[in-house]
Chains A and B, each alone.
Chain A
Amino acid sequence: MRRAARRVYHDSMRFNSLDYLFFFLAVVGPYFAIPARHRRSWLLVASVFFYMYWSPAFILLILYTTTIDYFVARRLAVTEAARSRRRLLALSYVTNFGALFLFKYYDFFMDSWQSVLGAAGLAVHAPLLHLVLPVGISFYTFEAISYTTDVYLRRYPAETDYRRLLLFIVFFPKLIAGPIERAWHLIPQFERTQRFDYARVRNGLAKILWGLFKKVVIADRLAIYVDLVYDHAGRHVGSTLLLATVFFCFQIYCDFSAYSDIAIGTSQVMGFDLLRNFRRPYFATSIGDFWRRWHISLSTWFRDYVYIPLGGNRDGFARTNLNIFAVFLISGIWHGANWTFALWGVYHGTFLVLQNLGNRFLPTVLPHGPIRRIVHTALTFPIVCLSWVLFRANSLRDAGHIYHEILFDLAPRAFFPGTLAQLAYGVFGIVVLLAVESVTEAGGFEALFAPRLKPARWAAYAAIACLIVMIGVIDGGQFIYFQF
């Protein structure tokens, strides 16, 4: 089953486009110039414009779901009867998940259902809708659900100002691909008067620059080789497929974390803190540790709204692992309407369960310390790396072929090098990334921002900017997570 083609927004306002640069300047400049009481309205107008620049019609969907959520939350705040409260929450879930299902999953499930029935000899033709996926729907749906659930659980009061709730949903830096925000974290920040802070703005701009570097110099460069190989997986041997898989491992990290960095940096410039999304995931010492470092805002969302409601670790070892497995299966499907993503979730869930079993029943071999840390990181990385095959492969068939070639036929014969310059740029990017992340992991990166190191900091900014122009893929593609 091949991955369904989705519309790509070629003319949209990508974070790595000049359109976004102009938009950013046009929003941030007046933001600090206008009186504080008008800033929230200004951000709302800018955010709605930003979304409509992508897909004008789908703003109506956001307005529809947000309006329902607003009134549901207001009613929840004044309703005491448990049954009524549950019904109100169900209304919010049906509205939000219904839209998500219709646009993202309907065709997938119908197609799969027809295949199953077809295999059983029953020819059924259910109509497929072929709807365009509203950009960012997976992200803002989860934010809306977290809001109404928190109000239901009385963890957060119902928002009385509709515009504030709408701004929480459409706040442009995180609207398209997260971080998945929580109402308790972001909405109160809209109420504060943001004053111009030089250090904060500088750090925000530095984050944006580093994000651009990761996207343009590393991710999009690696994508050229990865696409060449993965789009014709059947033609390549194990060594080529392994290299492409390692490249994809860094491509997806740089691509997604670049988006998060630019989103967080943009917000930081305007005085807002978004949730952290990444913490050097490839330095993880276990699969569990990996998920505490990768797409953190999604992991914590699943923890709070799926894993804990399922019982978390309160109902015994077996139930805990079942809950973990269920969460990862859902997480896989969240990423995309395709069996490859579902299996990707199953893969991680399985390894996490195995890790729990190992922790419980196997003795600790290595004492705590740097050597244990290095060994565990070296063991975790290949497991994570191989999981990306399922994430990137165009079909289950391709994924099967790639695993077979990598695991059983790794001979370097007929290795496809692409162009050597592409390989060299890609490796250079990975080396720079690992060097920066190693220093950061060791806690030394913050020292770069010490006042006495101003010349070094400036040299770093200038070098990054020059490298972007010199070897960046300026016409690179869309951020990968936009399709989700």
Chain B
Amino acid sequence: MRRLLVSLLAMAAVLFALDRAIGAGMERLFRTSTSVEDGDVLRRAWNARAPIVICGSSRAMHHYAVDSLGDELGIPAWNLGRDGAFGSLYPFGCAGVLLRHYTPRVWILEVERSVVRGPELLARLSCFLPYADDEPVAREVVGLRSREEPLRLLSRTYRYNSLVLSLLSPRLGKSVRPRRGFLPLEGAYHPPARPAPEPRLPESVVWPPVDSLKLRYLRRTIDLLHGRGVVVLATDGPRFARSTDDSLGAVREAHELGRLFAGMNVPFLDLSSERLPQFRDPRLYKDESHLNEAGALQLTRVLADSLRARGFAAARPAQ
């Protein structure tokens, strides 16, 4: 028994030392990596102090060419879109972290029905792990992932779990030109000639119930931003409609989101292809949910026009 205890203690000591060493190496890699999706994205955003921030899922990341938007309006903008961040906790975390460092003028929330419907994808909140020590909001969001999270955070390496390849990829030749968080997609969408053999999903799957956690955090996000005088706008970008069902779904979604955000005093910009017919062209898409770069540039112009109409053009950046 004693021999086992000694062995276990020795192994624990080795693992502790390794964890600290690997964690320190990963932290350095994280801070210096130019990875668009998994690098030190929030620090880059607060250092840029852009007055316009766009936040949401991959549809935000691939749809809004913030460099062009900045050029059009004369106001710098930053894109905080993240793959899979469909819910309301990601925007809450981003808003909470950024507001500790500066106050943007406009916060654009790219949303879809899953901003309040269906369960939150908690695994995607791992992007806040590296900030958990210094940012209270990041720690709060991370804590929602699991009740084991405080214990896991005792590890320095855990904060950078599964990041090693994406952080190293820019150094391994897979370099992407940084465009203030915007990640353009290449290629065009070819709608399938034959219908996919997918069964018709039940209503409860397509429109899962409203999640109280998501709704609570969406309200908190908006209150947080409004409390600091930030103008919040919600947008829902276009999708390629394969059928009448898709079109009807998009109309219903826009209607529901419009009502939801009206109740929170947030203007909702319906940028769906039902509202903007130019986005019914498959050549503007990479797939049915994402625009390619040409589509993104067109959509950015539409957004710029809308922001200009609301008086956000050529204003001086906030200090």
Contact B7 A474 (CB under 8 A): no
| Contact pick for A17, options B148, B169, B196, CB 8 Å | B148
Whether the pair A471, B162 counts as a contact (CB closer than 8 A) is: yes
In the complex with contacts A17-B148, A475-B146, A469-B161 CB distance below 8 A: yes
Of residues 146 through 185 on chain B, the ones whose CB sits less than 8 Å from some CB of chain A are 146, 148, 151-152, 155, 157-158, 160-162, 164-166, 169, 174
B residues less than 8 Å from A397 (CB atoms): 197, 199
Interface stretch (choices B15-23, B228-236, B295-303, B304-312): B15-23
With a cutoff of 8 Å between Cβ atoms, the chain A residues found around residue B126 in the complex are: 475
User: Within the assembled complex, what's the spacing in Å between the Cα atoms of A462 and B18?
Assistant: 8
CA distance A475 to B142 in the complex (A): 12
How many residues on the A side are at the interface (Cβ–Cβ under 8 A)?
Answer: 35
In the assembled complex, the Cα of A234 lies from the Cα of B3 at a distance in Å of 57
Known: A421-B162, A421-B166, A466-B157. Is A196-B1 also a contact (CB below 8 A)?
A: yes
Within 8 A of B (CB), among A456-474: 458, 461-462, 465-466, 469-474
Are A470 and B22 interface neighbours, CB within 8 A? Answer: yes
Does any Cβ of A come within 8 Å of B48's Cβ?
no
Q: Which of A1-17 contact B (CB under 8 A)?
A: 2, 17
Residues from chain A with a CB closer than 8 A to the CB of B22 are: 466, 470
Q: How many contacting A-B pairs (Cβ < 8 A)?
A: 79
Instruction: Count how many chain B residues have C-beta atoms less than 8 Å from C-beta atoms of the other chain.
Output: 35
Query: Please, which residues of chain A bring their CB within 8 A of the CB of B197?
Result: 234, 397-398, 400-401
- Are A466 and B18 in contact (CB-based, < 8 A)? yes
Q: Determine whether B269 belongs to the interface, using a CB cutoff of 8 Å to chain A.
A: no
Query: Is A201 an interface residue, CB under 8 A from the partner?
Result: yes
Q: Which residue of B lies closest to A463 (CB)?
A: B18
Question: Which chain A residues numbered 215 to 249 have a C-beta less than 8 Å away from chain B?
Answer: 232-235
Note all chain A residues with C-beta closer than 8 A to B196.
234-235
Write the nearest CB–CB distance from B64 to chain A, whole angstroms.
21
A466/B7 in contact, CB under 8 A: no
A474 in contact with B4 given A421-B169, A466-B15 (CB within 8 Å): no
Complex partner residue of B15 from A201, A421, A465, CB under 8 angstroms: A465
- B248 contacts A by Cβ under 8 Å: no
Does B145 sit at the interface, judged by CB under 8 A?
yes
Task: Give chain A interface residues in 193-220, CB to chain B under 8 Å.
Answer: 196, 198, 201-202
When the two chains form the complex, which single residue of B122, B165, B198 contacts A421, counting CB atoms closer than 8 Å?
B165
Q: Which residues of B in the span 16-40 have a Cβ within 8 Å of any Cβ on A?
A: 18-19, 22, 26
The distance from the CB of B146 to the nearest CB of chain A, in whole angstroms, is 6
**Of all chain B residues, which has the CB nearest A196?**
B1
Does chain B have a CB within 8 A of A425? yes
A378 to B204, CA, bound (A): 44
Given A2-B199, A234-B196, are A462 and B15 neighbors across the interface (CB < 8 Å)? yes
- Chain B contacts for A398, CB-based, 8 A: 197
In angstroms, how far is the closest chain A Cβ from the Cβ of B94? 20
Q: Does B193 contact A (CB under 8 A)?
A: no
Chain B's nearest CB lies how many Å from the CB of A356?
35
Interchain CA distance A198-B3 in the complex, whole Å: 7
Instruction: Indicate whether A114 reaches chain B with its CB closer than 8 angstroms.
Output: no
Q: Are B15 and A470 in contact (CB under 8 A)?
A: no
Residues from chain A with Cβ under 8 Å of B169 in the complex: 420-421
B264 adjacent to chain A (CB < 8 Å): no
Min CB gap A206→B, angstroms: 11
Residues A474 and B18 in contact in the complex (CB < 8 Å), given A198-B3, A202-B7, A234-B197: no
Q: Please, which residue of chain A has its CB at the minimum distance from the CB of B125?
A: A475
A424 at the binding interface (Cβ < 8 Å): yes
User: CA of A424 to CA of B164 in the docked complex: distance in angstroms?
Assistant: 11
Given A469-B157, A470-B161, A475-B145, answer yes or no on A461-B11 (Cβ-Cβ < 8 Å): yes
User: Are B199 and A395 in contact, CB atoms less than 8 angstroms apart?
Assistant: yes
Residue A122 at the chain B interface, CB threshold 8 Å: no
Residues of A within 8 A of B161 (CB): 469-472, 474
Chain B residues in 8 Å Cβ range of A109: none
Q: Which of A2, A202, A469 contacts B19 (CB 8 A)?
A: A469
- Find out whether the CB atom of B198 lies under 8 angstroms from the CB atom of A232: yes
Q: With the chains together, A458 CA to B7 CA distance in Å?
A: 10
Nearest CB in chain A to that of B145: its residue: A475
B199 surroundings in chain A (CB, below 8 A) = 2, 395, 397
Residues of A contacting B162 with CB < 8 Å?
421, 425, 470-473
Judge whether A32 is part of the interface by a CB distance below 8 angstroms.
yes
- Return B153 CB to nearest CB of chain A, in Å: 11
Q: With both chains docked as a complex, state the minimum distance between the C-beta of A478 and any C-beta of chain B, in angstroms.
A: 14
Residue B123 CB within 8 A of the other chain: yes
Shortest distance between the CB of A298 and any CB in chain B (Å):
31
Which residues of chain A come closer than 8 Å to B14, judged between CB atoms?
A: 458, 462
Answer yes or no: A18 CB below 8 A from chain B CBs.
yes
- A470 touching B164, Cβ below 8 Å: yes
Give A252 Cβ to nearest chain B Cβ, in Å.
Answer: 21
> How far, in whole Å, are A19 and B164 apart by their CA atoms in the complex?
27
Contact B157 A470, beta carbon cutoff 8 Å: yes
Q: Chain B 88-120, CB within 8 Å of chain A: the 1/0 string?
A: 000000000000000000000000000000000
Q: From A224, which residue of chain B is reached at the shortest CB distance?
A: B123
20 residue pairs bridging A and B, Cβ less than 8 Å apart: A2-B199, A17-B148, A19-B148, A198-B4, A201-B4, A202-B7, A234-B198, A235-B196, A235-B198, A421-B166, A462-B15, A462-B18, A465-B15, A466-B22, A469-B158, A470-B162, A471-B162, A474-B158, A474-B161, A475-B123
The 4 closest A-B pairs by CB, nearest first: A234-B196, A234-B198, A421-B165, A18-B148
* Chain A interface (Cβ < 8 Å from any Cβ of B): 2, 17-19, 32, 196, 198, 201-202, 232-235, 395, 397-398, 400-401, 419-421, 424-425, 458, 461-462, 465-466, 469-475
